[in-house]
Amino acid sequence: GQNIDQPTEMTATEGAIVQINCTYQTSGFNGLFWYQQHAGEAPTFLSYNVLDGLEEKGRFSSFLSRSKGYSYLLLKELQMKDSASYLCAAFTGGGNKLTFGTGTQLKVEL
């Protein structure tokens, strides 16, 4: 079966760095997505990792280890607007099917 785990909630301070972890057990794994979703809005694409390693995109970075079934999203210089749900999703191929975790609700405080 498909299983994706991520913490339910995290709290961090404005200006700080936060790391959101995601572990997965899936069949036919082809890559790992991260999305950001603000309350009442659609998910917006943040990153897509296929190969092991770190990919940096501005304040956001994403890491993947295929052998460990592990990924993380790193957010630097946190801003209040980063308060949102962060969704980890495994791309399992056989078409464009994504299996999502339940999301990590990040709260950024002053």
Nearer to other proteins, 22 or 78 (CB): 22
Paired strand residues for 99? 90
Q: How far is the CB of 19 from other proteins (least distance, A)?
A: 21
Q: How far is the CB of 82 from other proteins (least distance, A)?
A: 19
10 Å Cβ neighbour count for 106? 21
Please answer whether residues 19 and 42 qualify as being in contact, where contact means their C-beta atoms are separated by less than 8 angstroms: no
Nearer to other proteins, 33 or 63 (CB): 33
Q: How far is the CB of 43 from other proteins (least distance, A)?
A: 5
Nearer to other proteins, 81 or 95 (CB): 95
Please answer whether residues 98 and 1 qualify as being in contact, where contact means their C-beta atoms are separated by less than 8 angstroms: no
